[in-house]
Amino acid sequence: MSALPRVLVAPVTVTPSKPLTPSHLKGLLWTDVLYRATALVADTTYRYSPTTYHPTEQTLGFWYYLDQHHGDVDYSQMSEEEIGDLYVAYRARATKVSAAALRPYADAVENTGWVHPAGARVLQLWTGHYALLGLHDPGLEVHQPPGLGLEETLEQLKPAGAVLDQRADGGPVYLDATRYGLPLRQIVTADGRPNYLACALRELLPLAPEYDEVVLLYDSGLERDYQLVARLLSLRGPAVRRISVSRVPVNGRVTSARHGDWHDHSFGALLRVMDGRCSPESFRLGMRLYFVASLGRGQQESFRLDRLVHWTVRAQRLLDRSRTAPAGTGTALLDRCRSGHSYIDPYRLVSSLLDRRRSAPDPGLLSEVLL
């Protein structure tokens, strides 16, 4: 019998500085279904390390801002909405923090695994949310440093001509896949600040050769960046699959969390509305039916709480039917959710549950993948 394929599931991470919004929930649920289903048929690793992305300006700049403007305050009792409000205030400022000012923060993150108490508080709250949603926790509160330093990463990419480093002349560092027709992409500023792509490569470059397949999940606005990442990782051997999942519009508009207009549809707000309406199982399954199967990859439909309620009712009916269904039918279903790749397509899996022509879902599959 041949060994199971080795699959690395590597989604883009959410910066722990704000509440989870429908767009974040969609990405997390898509990733979770993909990971847990694929883990049944492949040797699967889920890599999601907030540690890797702390060195970005977006995060370090926020922490520096908090310490400069709010001093030593107790974040351990704050809600993620309260911390998110501080983040919105930070992002509204036009001034950029210098690399020199951020250096002590960057050094602490790199050398000691330090996390600012505001970031630690958000990650602690998210750990609770993951448990409530039945999401696999990939180590939100665990120190998981990337395998390579920034300079090592650049040195590894240079022989292939994939890095254009102009720091010696006072310029930035670019990823260079122009030979494949992809535009230059800056990854480090002239004064040495890495962006999230530089951080992603520090993590993924050393991991890639250990896998047969790498699955990248990201929001569709990052398509070009992930084309680049996929190209560079594939040079290291694995097949690289890109899954772009669009953000969820709210009232017809797709907005970034940094603008702060999430108050009536953050995960906390959603929980307050759903409280007492359904069982924990139907909430978990309903969330997956809604965010994965109903909303799909695209962004045609705006977020609607009444639709989520509808899907939890539907989930309860599925759960009821599955109680009398025979176990062991899940394997054949999983096989139908793969075509030319090792990972399980979450959309095909979840939407297949809604096919009325099919028999009731395997209760084992439900509990292992969707609850």
Rounded Cα gap, residues 99 and 64, in angstroms: 11
The residue (of 185 and 314) whose beta carbon lies closer to other proteins is 185
Phi-psi region of 302 (alpha: psi -120 to 50; beta: other; left: phi over 0): beta
Q: How many helices (H) and strands (E) does the chain have?
A: 15, 7
**Using rule CB under 8 A, residue 179 touches other proteins:** yes
108 CB-near residues (< 8 Å, 6+ apart): 114
**Using rule CB under 8 A, residue 68 touches other proteins:** no
3 state DSSP class of 243 = strand
Q: Which stretch binds other proteins (CB under 8 A): 8-16, 78-86, 128-136, 163-171?
A: 163-171
Residue 342 gets which letter from DSSP? Answer: S
Rounded Cα gap, residues 196 and 194, in angstroms: 7
Q: Which stretch binds other proteins (CB under 8 A): 30-38, 81-89, 124-132, 179-187?
A: 179-187
**Using rule CB under 8 A, residue 161 touches other proteins:** yes
The residue (of 162 and 333) whose beta carbon lies closer to other proteins is 162
The residue (of 71 and 170) whose beta carbon lies closer to other proteins is 170
**Using rule CB under 8 A, residue 98 touches other proteins:** no
Phi-psi region of 26 (alpha: psi -120 to 50; beta: other; left: phi over 0): alpha
Q: Which stretch binds other proteins (CB under 8 A): 175-183, 231-239, 307-315, 328-336?
A: 175-183
Beta-sheet pairing, 163-165 with 173-175: antiparallel
Task: With beta carbons less than 8 A apart as the criterion, state whether 109 and 144 touch.
Answer: no
The residue (of 3 and 168) whose beta carbon lies closer to other proteins is 168
219, β-bridge pairs: 245
Candidate list 55, 117, 172, 361; residue touching other proteins; CB under 8 A? 172
Size of the site for other proteins (CB under 8 A): 18
Candidate list 68, 98, 178, 251; residue touching other proteins; CB under 8 A? 178
121-146 core/surface letters (b: 16 or more CB in 10 A; e: else): bbbbbbeebbeebbbeebbbeeeebb
Residue 113 gets which letter from DSSP? Answer: -
Sketch the per residue contact string, 180 through 219, with other proteins: x for CB under 8 A, - otherwise. -xxxx-x---x-----------------------------
Candidate list 164, 257, 293, 295; residue touching other proteins; CB under 8 A? 164
Phi-psi region of 11 (alpha: psi -120 to 50; beta: other; left: phi over 0): beta
**Using rule CB under 8 A, residue 174 touches other proteins:** yes
Candidate list 1, 94, 168, 332; residue touching other proteins; CB under 8 A? 168
The residue (of 13 and 195) whose beta carbon lies closer to other proteins is 195
Q: How far is the CB of 167 from other proteins (least distance, A)?
A: 9
**Using rule CB under 8 A, residue 72 touches other proteins:** no
Q: Which stretch binds other proteins (CB under 8 A): 20-28, 135-143, 164-172, 338-346?
A: 164-172
3 state DSSP class of 353 = coil
Q: How far is the CB of 160 from other proteins (least distance, A)?
A: 10
**Using rule CB under 8 A, residue 225 touches other proteins:** no
Q: Could you write out the DSSP letters of every residue in 163-222? A: EEE-GGGT--EEE--GGGTPPPEEEE-TTS-B-HHHHHHHHHHHHGGG-SEEEEEEEGGG
Rounded Cα gap, residues 220 and 205, in angstroms: 22
Q: How far is the CB of 170 from other proteins (least distance, A)?
A: 3
Q: Which stretch binds other proteins (CB under 8 A): 65-73, 140-148, 173-181, 346-354?
A: 173-181
Q: Which residues of this chain interact with other proteins, rule CB under 8 A?
A: 161, 164, 166, 168-172, 174, 176, 178-179, 181-184, 186, 190
